[in-house]
Amino acid sequence: MDSINFKFFIENDSNPFILFTSQGKIKYLNTSAELLMGACQPKEIFNIAIAHAPKTFGSQKTAINLSFNSFEFYAINVLYENEEQIGIYLYNKPMAKIADSSLLDGYTETDINMLLQANIELFNINYNGKIKLLTDYDIPKFQIHQNDFSLLLRNTFNQFEKSKKININVKIKIGERIVIRDKRYSIIILDLKSSKREQGHDSEIELLAHKIHINIHFKSKSITLEIPAII
């Protein structure tokens, strides 16, 4: 056993692993955890580890729903064997799978950036603030229900109509795919952030999103859409 390079297996695990010192400083993190650090602060994860640590040396698994932007986890495992360091595994939620035979009814090949830009221009007619768009223009065209998606965008934008600035970011989600009819497709992240947003219509917007198989995540100042890029 001493000759086995366990670090190799931990480094390439799809589940994030972070090793902290007792003061909360990162001592080691694997590749998946490096990606996660772009969506949260180390202190958040350290506090979660401390709160769910076993009472004595060893490990303790806990079922817990955690969300950091587009990263979602269903459980954690907190481990420590001395007072100097503590480790935590965060377990990714299972890959989404859609088997609806009517999934593509009304869908057409679409350039998401063009459709997004058109809806931004419509929203800008009555919006007095500024919109900053950061997107990946290399995202290929994919199948989407244009009318329903535009309706979802309009309702989502309206949540930010009283804010002075909206930051919109579009990118491909790294390290995760969605399974549709036994085929794997990329996931496009559409992230909207501002200093504030209205939250009174979240349930209605969630219904619109789920109708076209889009996962949606709400926070007090942001909304994130996870869009299947069906080619």
The predicted-structure confidence for 140-156, as pLDDT tens digits, reads as follows 999 999 999 999 999 99
Which domains, and CATH codes, for the chain?
6-92 (3.30.450.20), 98-228 (3.30.565.10)
Q: Identify which of 189, 172, 176 has the alpha carbon closest to the alpha carbon of residue 14.
A: 176
Element containing residue 32 per DSSP (H, E) = helix 31-36
Supply 162's token pair: 């009283």
CB 62 within 8 A of CB 75: yes
Range with the lowest mean pLDDT among 48-52, 70-74, 107-111, 185-189?
A: 70-74
Of the chain, the percentage scoring pLDDT greater than 90 comes to: 55
Rounded to the nearest 5 degrees, what angle is found at the Cα of 52, between the Cα atoms of 217 and 175?
Answer: 40
pTM summary value: 0.63
Q: Cα 159 from chain centroid?
A: 19
User: Using N-to-C axis directions, what is the helix angle for 146-158 and 202-211, rounded to 10°?
Assistant: 160
Q: What is the pLDDT of residue 1?
A: 62
